[in-house]
A and B are shown apart, each in its own frame.
Chain A
Amino acid sequence: MENLIALLIAAPLLGAAVLLVGGRRLDAVGHWIGTFLSAASFVFGLILFADLLGKDAEHRTLTQHLWTWISVGGFQADVTFRLDQLSMTFVLLITGVGSLIHLYSVGYMEHDERRRRFFGYLNLFLAAMLLLVLADNYLLLYVGWEGVGLASYLLIGFWQHKPSAATAAKKAFLVNRVGDMGLSIAIMLMFTTFGSFAFGPVLSHTGDTSEGKLTAIGLMLLLAACGKSAQVPLQSWLGDAMEGPTPVSALIHAATMVTAGVYLIVRSGAIFNAAPDAQLAVTVVGAVTLLFGAIVGCAKDDIKKALAGSTMSQIGYMVLAAGLGPIGYVFAIMHLVTHGFFKAGLFLGAGSVMHGMNDEVDMRKYGGLRKYMPVTFITFGLGYLAIIGFPGLSGFFSKDKIIEAAFAKGGTEGWILGGAALLGAAITAFYMTRVMLMTFFGEERWRDRPTRSPEEPSAEPAAAHQGGAASGHAAAATGEPHPHESPKIMTIPMVVLAVGSVFGGAFFSLGDRFLHWLEPVTGHSEGDSPLSAATVTGATMVCLVVGVAIAWAQYGRKPVPALAPRGSLLTRAARRDLYQDDFNHVVLVRGGEHLTRSLVYVDHTLVDGVVNGTAAGFGGLSGRLRRLQNGFVRSYAVSMFGGAALLVAATLLMRAV
């Protein structure tokens, strides 16, 4: 049964190789190959899952040693896979959601010339992501980590003819490098501290290691997680990453890759448990990011960017939960899974809306679409209800647990973190209601108006439009859009995901199924909450209602202006992503420029000055000394004679003394 683990990765890897190497002769069937191999991987995952369920909770860890990768002295790296409950959860999420999105992409990318390549990249991503979650040591995990970074880069910049997409891809890559640096340093620290980087030795020896070292490793891992999961301060790339095709946003930048940071923290839980300072930093990052993302999400008119802000915020919840330690690990993963469902669904819904609206992304040019695309409306609506935590839907269960756990942290920290989480819940309700109202309700603002004005180029380019306008609605880009429902191949995945969004949370939570499933890996402890579970739930409900009410008051009762009003100071700041890029530019780019300039100056004046000055000094000295070497033997004779005279003088002098 262990041998299936390698096949999990091999299937999408084979797909990537075939699709990328195969060339144009596979254009006709390439997308089906990719989808089939992704689904195959999912089937393998299901078989393994069934196998795991058939075992005791204690024996649900499978390992497969493929080969020894590096063996140099005491340095040993193996290609070994480890399938336990945590990996299994991720495998099912990745392959399941991934397969659905493959299917969706078949429709979404139908008219794109480079669809085969797109599927190749998607398969590459799946392989790398599976490698990441199945690796049995941090070095192999790092390979997957870099692999998903590469796939992310390739897919964000998939429409590379657009300068904005190319820039966004580069930005994502660069910001991720900062995080990757953290991971590589963490791995090096692990090797020097534990003499190994396999999960087993590292995570079982945290007890007999100094807390300072563990804190350092933990902070470096947190840096890595920040980069990959778009947490403050490395959050700036996620918004721009929406330049990629919408399925990519759904799969990579909502459901799976951006949660790799959470996986890393939960997987390294033993390290964080032993390093409270690092844990505190994790919770702070999570809390700040969940508010940051939520605020940014409130102000964006671009539907995908609003959802990106939401993603950031939801991952903030997960990181917060992961930072809480054993109280929160399970809920972080649970929220991760439910979020994978509803956020992927929301993104697919957004893609479907754009698909029907000539790739318009500005929500101010939507409105009243519920009549024209009912399936999208219903699935999106269910996702919406799930994310805001409507009672009974999956977001309700997972988010409520996180808020409870935050309060259970205890002390002032617990109050602050819990408060932040509650506030985040209110803001989530607000901005998601805003998205919902602006898109599906209200007057039809797209009528009698070209959807894309020349001054405001859409994020999705003309080439994307070929993929978007699937069913003969390739109307002139500047003409009035004709909203319509997307084809079946796109709606079916949305329906499946919506079902998951609705019932996932309840299925996991009732009877604490998910808790029992994951507990052997992550451990669990009940916190000491100052508030009862019912109180927290009640408070969450109140926040929810308040958020929805404010949003309705602002966007439901009054008509939405077609042009964005100037807005308050906070709104304007949020529109600019709370000045994150400006901050980066001023502090990092300018600072770096000044630093390099001053270094160049020092190099030119001081270093070159010393070097050239020495050379010039010796040159000048030699030029003067050279005159002594005039080639006339008589001059040399004078020197000899003078020297002899000096010798005689010295002799006499010594005798006199």
Chain B
Amino acid sequence: MTAQHLAAYTTSTGEAFQFWVLGTVAVVGALCTVFMRRAVHSALCLAGTMIVLAVFYLANGAYFLGIVQIVVYTGAIMMLFLFVVMLVGVTAADSLKETIKGQRWLALLCGIGFGVLLFAGIGNASLTEFNGTGQANANGNVEGLASLIFTKYVFAFEITGALLITAAVGAMVLTHRERTERARTQRELSEQRVREGKHVPPLPAPGVYARHNAVDIAGLLPDGTPSELTVSKTLRERGQIRDVSAEALNDLRALEQRAEERLERTAIEPATFKRPEEASK
């Protein structure tokens, strides 16, 4: 009897093949989500896993959910993640070195123990009655869901609506910064600059003295050293300045050599030359 039942619930070979192949992809994607050093890679792997899961939803007869998974989850939510990753710094790679003593081993122990327990639980459960969703989806999956949502689950549905609005308001409140003082006008800002005597003209643009004009490359001073003033504050704080000074200095030195050779002059002593900023120190 049991064997007969079980036999009746066996899926098609095609689904089995799909399960094993895509299941492997999903697990690999999940592992990569956890172990990738860069958040953006993790996000992409997670997106992959989610798409696989969407396929599984479809295979299980949850057509509406499968589409929603792709459109809302993978499409919208994961993009939201990516936006935040961009905000925080897309290139920043995390160190995977553990700083809390014993944390990693405890985490692995708990994880493995929990997994084993779950597997044991599923294995022990008497999951004999697989009815299939054919009957339930007879009038269409979306129509079936809709009739349930607007009848049996209508209150839960309304409440989730309220929850969503609250979450949206909450997010705005959290990220909104109230201005505590009056915004200073352009005039006041320039007056302050003059009063302080610092950077009265506009800040130097990046890459002016170099052969680059990307915003993350510092402009070079006449002696070839990079000037941090030329790079935006945000990039400076993130430490995302690309330093090309060595390259530029080499070019300069090569240029001087060639000029020397052509003009048959002796080289200028680099030691006697000092940048005005350093001399003032």
Interface residues of A (CB under 8 A from B): 630, 632, 634-635, 638, 641-642, 644-645, 648-649, 651-652, 655-656
Which of A632, A645, A651, A652 contacts B110 (CB under 8 A)? Answer: A645
B155 within 8 A of partner (CB): no
B120 within 8 A of partner (CB): yes
> In whole angstroms, what is the CA distance A642 to B114 when docked?
8
B95 within 8 A of partner (CB): no
- Given A634-B100, A655-B124, residue A645 in contact with residue B113 (CB < 8 A): yes
Report A599 CB to chain B, min CB distance, Å: 50
Residue on B nearest A641 in the bound complex, by CB: B110
Contacts A634-B103, A648-B118, A649-B117 given; 19 further ones with Cβ under 8 A?
A: A630-B100, A632-B100, A632-B103, A635-B100, A635-B103, A638-B107, A641-B110, A641-B111, A642-B110, A645-B110, A645-B113, A645-B114, A645-B117, A648-B121, A651-B121, A652-B117, A652-B121, A652-B124, A656-B124
Top-10 shortest CB links A-B: A645-B114, A648-B117, A641-B110, A642-B110, A638-B106, A645-B113, A632-B100, A649-B117, A652-B121, A645-B110
Report A639 CB to chain B, min CB distance, Å: 9
- Given A630-B100, A638-B106, residue A652 in contact with residue B120 (CB < 8 A): yes
Report B50 CB to chain A, min CB distance, Å: 23
Inter-chain contacts of A655 with B (CB < 8 A): 124
Residue on A nearest B109 in the bound complex, by CB: A642
Main secondary structure of the interface of A (DSSP, over half): helix
Which of A632, A634, A644, A656 contacts B114 (CB under 8 A)? Answer: A644
Residue on B nearest A643 in the bound complex, by CB: B110
- 21 CB-based A-B contacts, threshold 8 Å: A630-B100, A632-B103, A634-B100, A634-B103, A634-B107, A635-B103, A638-B107, A638-B110, A641-B110, A641-B111, A642-B106, A645-B114, A648-B114, A648-B117, A649-B117, A651-B121, A652-B117, A652-B120, A652-B124, A655-B124, A656-B124
Residue on A nearest B114 in the bound complex, by CB: A645
Report B167 CB to chain A, min CB distance, Å: 21
Residue on B nearest A640 in the bound complex, by CB: B110
Report A630 CB to chain B, min CB distance, Å: 7
Report A638 CB to chain B, min CB distance, Å: 5
Residue on B nearest A648 in the bound complex, by CB: B117
Q: Which of B99-142 contact A (CB under 8 A)?
A: 100, 103, 106-107, 110-111, 113-114, 117-118, 120-121, 124
Report B98 CB to chain A, min CB distance, Å: 10
Inter-chain contacts of A632 with B (CB < 8 A): 100, 103
> In whole angstroms, what is the CA distance A648 to B111 when docked?
13
> In whole angstroms, what is the CA distance A632 to B104 when docked?
13
> In whole angstroms, what is the CA distance A446 to B175 when docked?
113
Residue on B nearest A642 in the bound complex, by CB: B110
Inter-chain contacts of B118 with A (CB < 8 A): 648
> In whole angstroms, what is the CA distance A634 to B106 when docked?
11
> In whole angstroms, what is the CA distance A632 to B100 when docked?
8
Residue on A nearest B100 in the bound complex, by CB: A632
> In whole angstroms, what is the CA distance A645 to B106 when docked?
12
Inter-chain contacts of A630 with B (CB < 8 A): 100
> In whole angstroms, what is the CA distance A637 to B103 when docked?
10
> In whole angstroms, what is the CA distance A656 to B117 when docked?
13
Inter-chain contacts of A652 with B (CB < 8 A): 117, 120-121, 124
Residue on B nearest A632 in the bound complex, by CB: B100
> In whole angstroms, what is the CA distance A144 to B103 when docked?
83
Residue on A nearest B99 in the bound complex, by CB: A632
Inter-chain contacts of B103 with A (CB < 8 A): 632, 634-635, 638
> In whole angstroms, what is the CA distance A524 to B111 when docked?
105
Inter-chain contacts of B117 with A (CB < 8 A): 645, 648-649, 652
> In whole angstroms, what is the CA distance A641 to B100 when docked?
17
Interface centre among B106, B111, B124 (most CB of A within 10 A): B106
Inter-chain contacts of A648 with B (CB < 8 A): 114, 117-118, 121
Report A629 CB to chain B, min CB distance, Å: 13
Inter-chain contacts of A641 with B (CB < 8 A): 107, 110-111, 114
Inter-chain contacts of B107 with A (CB < 8 A): 634, 638, 641
> In whole angstroms, what is the CA distance A632 to B121 when docked?
31
Inter-chain contacts of B120 with A (CB < 8 A): 652
Inter-chain contacts of B124 with A (CB < 8 A): 652, 655-656
Interface centre among A635, A644, A645, A655 (most CB of B within 10 A): A645
Q: Which of B224-243 contact A (CB under 8 A)?
A: none
Inter-chain contacts of A635 with B (CB < 8 A): 100, 103
> In whole angstroms, what is the CA distance A635 to B101 when docked?
10
> In whole angstroms, what is the CA distance A656 to B123 when docked?
12
> In whole angstroms, what is the CA distance A657 to B185 when docked?
76
> In whole angstroms, what is the CA distance A632 to B102 when docked?
13
> In whole angstroms, what is the CA distance A32 to B62 when docked?
124
> In whole angstroms, what is the CA distance A270 to B111 when docked?
93
Inter-chain contacts of A642 with B (CB < 8 A): 106, 110
> In whole angstroms, what is the CA distance A652 to B117 when docked?
8
Report B162 CB to chain A, min CB distance, Å: 28
> In whole angstroms, what is the CA distance A122 to B222 when docked?
113
> In whole angstroms, what is the CA distance A644 to B114 when docked?
8
Report B55 CB to chain A, min CB distance, Å: 29
Inter-chain contacts of B106 with A (CB < 8 A): 638, 642
Residue on B nearest A656 in the bound complex, by CB: B124
Interface centre among A632, A638, A649 (most CB of B within 10 A): A638
> In whole angstroms, what is the CA distance A280 to B107 when docked?
89
> In whole angstroms, what is the CA distance A600 to B51 when docked?
80
Q: Which of B210-259 contact A (CB under 8 A)?
A: none
Report B94 CB to chain A, min CB distance, Å: 13
> In whole angstroms, what is the CA distance A641 to B107 when docked?
9
Residue on B nearest A649 in the bound complex, by CB: B117
> In whole angstroms, what is the CA distance A321 to B107 when docked?
97
Inter-chain contacts of B110 with A (CB < 8 A): 638, 641-642, 645
Inter-chain contacts of A651 with B (CB < 8 A): 121
> In whole angstroms, what is the CA distance A651 to B121 when docked?
9
Inter-chain contacts of B114 with A (CB < 8 A): 641, 644-645, 648
Residue on B nearest A651 in the bound complex, by CB: B121
> In whole angstroms, what is the CA distance A581 to B159 when docked?
94
The 0/1 profile, CB within 8 Å of A marked 1, for residues 11-30 of chain B is 00000000000000000000
Inter-chain contacts of B113 with A (CB < 8 A): 645
Report A628 CB to chain B, min CB distance, Å: 12
> In whole angstroms, what is the CA distance A165 to B121 when docked?
96
Report B234 CB to chain A, min CB distance, Å: 27
Residue on B nearest A645 in the bound complex, by CB: B114
Inter-chain contacts of B121 with A (CB < 8 A): 648, 651-652
Report A657 CB to chain B, min CB distance, Å: 13
Residue on B nearest A652 in the bound complex, by CB: B121
Report B210 CB to chain A, min CB distance, Å: 43
> In whole angstroms, what is the CA distance A415 to B27 when docked?
118
Inter-chain contacts of A644 with B (CB < 8 A): 114
Inter-chain contacts of A649 with B (CB < 8 A): 117
Report B116 CB to chain A, min CB distance, Å: 9
> In whole angstroms, what is the CA distance A648 to B106 when docked?
17
